[in-house]
Structure 1
Amino acid sequence: MVALSGGRGVRGLALALGACSVLALSACADTQGRGAGGGGGQGVPQGATIEQYKAAFADVRPIKLTTQSPSPKGSVTGKNVEDYLKAVTEWSGGKITFEVTYSNGVAPPAEVDDALVDGRLDIGQVLPIYEPSEYPANAALIQASFVSDQTPVAGTLQSNAWPNEVAFKTPEITEEFEKKGIKLMVPYYDSGANVMFCRKPRRDLASLKGVQTASGGQAQNAELTALGAAPASVPYTEQFESLQRGVVDCTVSSFTVGVLGGFVKVAPNVTIDPAAGFALAPGGMAINQRTWDGLPLVARQLLWDRLDVFLASNIEGKIWPNIAQAVSQAKAAGGSVGPFSDDARKAMTGANSRMLDTMRREAKVKDPGAFVTNIQAAADRWLKEARAAGPGEDVAHADFDQWYKPGKVDANRYVGKVYEQVFLPHRPS
């Protein structure tokens, strides 16, 4: 972890941490916190222009933060990360820079939280779905992600808004990371709706019975079991080979993961149903708490304010282009995109309803019933906002490759509302 700022205390912090071994990091850093002068300085008002930010950084020493991207440099799938880092560097006048490793080169997805704790990464994309026993409140939020609308425009906008609202209103969700020394910046962002990719057409219960299907978590396991399929645990990095070799016949993944993993051509039969959504496998963006606390106030404000770039790019720069590309690839490989049959749809909606009922009693939060009520209310409210921001009548996923063009839908205004209503109240001051 490297973090330098204009404050003498923070500079001392960085030098001290440089002398610490990774194993002794926590003990050494305990003597170098806010009391040494870290995290101070002048800030800027909310809504500050780029010129105001650059002026505020004039006397700040250079800051270098370590991070990684999940994809190769320049890939659409990592555009949200790259656009965010670029914006922060630009708005800081070059005072904040990033040492970026691509294709999860520092830590695999399931270990990013550990890399944040031990200092290999300052900022990273965490995936609590891989460790539900360590992050039970986060797992509950993820489990409920099927309540989002299953449309490519409004549904995508909605699903990247309401979970963040609920997360910030549910202390247990952020506290699960805080107790490890990690600060959640974006509690939740996804890669678009999850769909079922299969080697052969499988949309009814008869064709799904006993089919080995890669699954991304407990909620998906329950949904697949209700369909009669056999859930299998396969990391997304291994799904292409597993599908190609027939180890599994299907996988539940997002279009983004399908493109990133390159497996659409071997599993081009895609099922996504407007009335029966799969739970998602989202991530969050987080920063080492000591790194955060040691940064000058203006740096923390900038990292927070430019989350709007991360959120907008995640939708416009990653999800929508990947949906279009995946649908096109599926068609080119002789597959198709369509809904479940009536019997499978009924099985899916039944499983989802049962999961919500269980969550009302058992979710690992202070008031499980209120938690589910908040989820449903937030999802409804942000769906209305999303439909107002979208093109009106939403397009079907099967037609998205022909309908979508870059810039056809401007997500910035919608994301501005999300930032103002959800993130702004937590802006450093």
Structure 2
Amino acid sequence: MEPVTLKFGESSGPNSAAGQALTAYAERVAERTDGKVKIEFFFANSLLESNAIFPALGDGVADIATVAISQSAEQLPVMNWISAGSSTLSPEFPLSQMQALPAETQVFSDNADVTNELDDQNVKMLLAGLSGGFSPAVCSKPVRNLDDAKGVRIRVVGELHAQEARALGMEPVQTSSSEIFEALQRGVIDCATASDGGHNFIALGLLDVAEYYLPLKLSPTGGTSYQMNLDSWTGLPEEAQKILLEELGGYAADRLRGNLEGYGEMVDLIDERGIEWLDASDLNRTLREAQEKNVEEIYADPPNAVSDPDTLINEYEEALATWLETIQDFLTAEPLAADADPETMKEAYRNADESIDFEGLSQELGSYFKDLAG
């Protein structure tokens, strides 16, 4: 084959867990293709902002990109609709982080309605479920209960997070990741979420300006995925296509390990900087009730592009259940209960990267992506 360089638009920075895992992924792809498939990364939205990347991906501005489904809901109504069920991921840490990627990738790869809407946009999905963790927040003011939450301006991602914030009495603000630091520093927002927390809070510099850590459980940003321009995909030889897919298993395990290491680093920085760790138990109970209601209402009103809503819902729920059972074999410690107290939570975060058999998990995910590659 002729050498090719694929342009990859990524929202995270190069030193984030995602950035480091992607760099290692690109090295493996280049090695297996004898240097004929190279990946050039445009980290931290340096190619285009995240809310503009999806339309540009179909037009070929990028070959591969991170796509936040919540920011592309109009073009991807099926994926956006079923992804509303992300709040039904296991609330126990780190199970949701382990569960989301293989489960959502399976559903989106197998369902004809999803494939059709991606084809219409001239893109192919490589993997999904990138942001499987429930989203916590950091704040510049204390938010200990629903009274404190009233009127608090919180940066969110997409309409689902916005609905959940309103259920707490907060005022949702949508802004790109590159603008969060300045917004929190200048008081444009009072709190900021970041998918999975951990490395993302550190990479964005938010612990430099935050005074409080609020362990909310806003829904994972379901459906966040790596997608590829369809022309770029079909232009590759079949063997190169297989390599791109097969190496995603190692990427997924690397990213998970980096994310969990980030939680430990985050706890150390929080303690070092005197950031107060708030108890969000009461807020999360209200949030859970709102999430259950939201999922019920959203699933009762499917978009026209969904040919069989009940079947798609069942596929999503079955994939979550199957992968939850599978991944528990690779836990080496008890998962953190959803209602754990702050001190128990801190201890679990510090030891998170030691709570998983990463070698076994990597082999399991690698086997799945090899099957997906055919």
Q: TM-score range by the shorter chain?
A: 0.7 to 0.9
State the match for 2:271 in structure 1.
331
> Shift of residue 301 of structure 1?
1.2
Tell me, yes or no, if structure 1 residue 410 matches structure 2 residue 351.
no
Identity of aligned residues (%): 22
How far, CA to CA, are the matches of 1:193 and 1:412 in structure 2? 24
State the match for 1:101 in structure 2.
42
Q: Retained in 2: the 8 A contact 1:145–1:280?
A: yes
Tell me, yes or no, if structure 1 residue 399 matches structure 2 residue 339.
no
Q: Retained in 1: the 8 A contact 2:16–2:200?
A: no
Q: Retained in 2: the 8 A contact 1:205–1:227?
A: yes
Report the CA distance shift for 1:264/1:175 in structure 2 as closer, same or farther (over 3 A). Answer: farther
Q: Retained in 2: the 8 A contact 1:208–1:227?
A: yes
Report 1:362-373 matches (<5 A): 362-364=301-303, 365-373=306-314
- The root-mean-square deviation of aligned C-alpha atoms, in Å, is 2.4
State the match for 2:82 in structure 1.
141
Report the CA distance shift for 1:215/1:102 in structure 2 as closer, same or farther (over 3 A). Answer: closer
> Shift of residue 280 of structure 1?
2.1
State the match for 1:427 in structure 2.
373
How far, CA to CA, are the matches of 2:33 and 2:50 in structure 1? 29
State the match for 1:271 in structure 2.
214
State the match for 2:171 in structure 1.
230
State the match for 1:202 in structure 2.
143
Which blocks of at least 5 consecutive residues in structure 2 are unaligned? 337-343
> Shift of residue 191 of structure 1?
6.2
Tell me, yes or no, if structure 1 residue 350 matches structure 2 residue 286.
no
State the match for 1:253 in structure 2.
194
**Worse-superposed segment, 251-260 or 125-134:** 251-260
Q: Which amino acid aligns with 1:334?
A: G
> Shift of residue 367 of structure 1?
2.6
**Equivalent position SS for 2:173:** strand
Tell me, yes or no, if structure 1 residue 307 matches structure 2 residue 248.
yes
How far, CA to CA, are the matches of 2:221 and 2:100 in structure 1? 10
How far, CA to CA, are the matches of 1:341 and 1:190 in structure 2? 22
Q: Retained in 2: the 8 A contact 1:126–1:285?
A: yes
Q: Retained in 2: the 8 A contact 1:68–1:102?
A: yes
**Equivalent position SS for 2:52:** helix
Structure-1-length-normalised TM-score: 0.77
**Equivalent position SS for 2:274:** coil
How far, CA to CA, are the matches of 2:246 and 2:220 in structure 1? 29
Report 1:36-75 matches (<5 A): 61-75=2-16
The number of equivalent residue pairs is: 363
> Shift of residue 408 of structure 1?
5.8
Structure exhibiting the larger radius of gyration computed from Cα positions:
1
> Shift of residue 194 of structure 1?
0.8
How far, CA to CA, are the matches of 1:282 and 1:322 in structure 2? 22
State the match for 2:341 in structure 1.
none
> Shift of residue 382 of structure 1?
1.9
> Shift of residue 136 of structure 1?
1.3
**Equivalent position SS for 1:219:** helix
Report the CA distance shift for 1:235/1:65 in structure 2 as closer, same or farther (over 3 A). Answer: closer
Q: Retained in 1: the 8 A contact 2:247–2:366?
A: no
Which blocks of at least 5 consecutive residues in structure 1 are unaligned? 6-60
**Equivalent position SS for 1:93:** coil
> Shift of residue 156 of structure 1?
1.4
Q: Which amino acid aligns with 1:262?
A: G
